[in-house]
Amino acid sequence: MKLLVIGNQERAEKYRPKNIFTDSVEMVVCQRDASEEEILSAGADADFLLVDAIVTVSRSLMEKMPNLKLIHSEGVAYHGIDQEAARERGIYVCNCQGVNAGAVAEQTILLMLGLLRNVAPGDRAVREGRQIEVKERSMVEGIRELPDCAVGLIGFGAIGKATARLLKAFGCPVYYYSSHRAEPKEEQEYGVIWMEKEELLASCDIISLHVPVTPDTMGMVGHDFLKKMKPSAYLINTSRGELMDHEALRDALMNETIAGAGLDTLYPEPVSADNKIASLPETCPGRVLLSPHIGGITTGTFTRAHRMVWENLERIAAGKKPERIVNGL
């Protein structure tokens, strides 16, 4: 059997489990930006396809891979895969749901604290010899502690729940909006209260996004969404950049419609220097804290993810159904 990986070769080799089954599978790797011709040249006869979470897998590619049984995202995202085409051809599409929940939740808290404590401008001020100036100004302007902030989670899947668990330890009042409300027992476990989205936006000090990219969520953070937030509130996005209308967010930051944003992800990737958010002018110092989409890429995440992938490959090889199917087969 043959596995074609579209992604990073060093990562594929490093996290490949060592056992009898993995030794029996031929693995070939194409870089993430490989052309369709290059991909087919390397693995048109592959039984399995493992793709970086932001890779596009088209109907055209599937049609030229007659042995393909499974397309597996290396992460949680899978919106680049043509799910309908895969379903029509009887090809499973699977992801690693929940694998990075704890890691992304940590990054979410980091961004919240980084904004509240003005970490990036503070670091720069100390290096420039302005430590006392910034310290004295901070004492007058005030520094909010995380437990004093009402946090609103939009989405309450694995990452939303992991974030709620950490916020509960901080003692934050935590609210959430999800189209599917959790059971009362689960709400009590995570210390959360369900709230309508409009009310959540208007009342919370921090709004944190935890939803996948779908036709309904694409660009959901637009002018209307941002105007409903408190002017003193922060937006946190550790989900996907496609959830945000970058032009609308840029306007909100420059016009002080919201206090700031902590973003682990922008769109498109790779992020260019002229990105609407990355290129905010110096008139917006400290209002945006960016990280390079690293929330879910810890060593633990990749170890768990590749174990999940290879276990699914082994299930199919044994004639069984894989787990975490996302295309309805």
Of 250, 293, 304, 324, the catalytic one is: 293
Structure tokens at 44: 């048109």
Q: Is 180 a catalytic residue?
A: no
Question: In the chain, count of helices (H) and strands (E)?
Answer: 14, 12
What span, in angstroms and rounded, lies between the C-alpha atoms of 144 and 33? 43
Alpha helices in the chain (DSSP H): 9-14, 20-24, 36-43, 59-63, 83-88, 101-116, 119-127, 131-141, 158-170, 184-190, 197-203, 223-227, 246-254, 299-317
What span, in angstroms and rounded, lies between the C-alpha atoms of 315 and 191? 37
What span, in angstroms and rounded, lies between the C-alpha atoms of 58 and 274? 29
Q: Is 87 a catalytic residue?
A: no
Of 16, 72, 240, 306, the catalytic one is: 240
Q: Is 74 a catalytic residue?
A: no
Residues 187 and 193 sit within 8 Å (Cβ to Cβ): yes
In the chain, what is the straight-line distance between the N-terminal and C-terminal CA atoms, in Å? 22
Of 165, 189, 269, 315, the catalytic one is: 269
> Which amino acids are annotated catalytic?
240, 269, 293
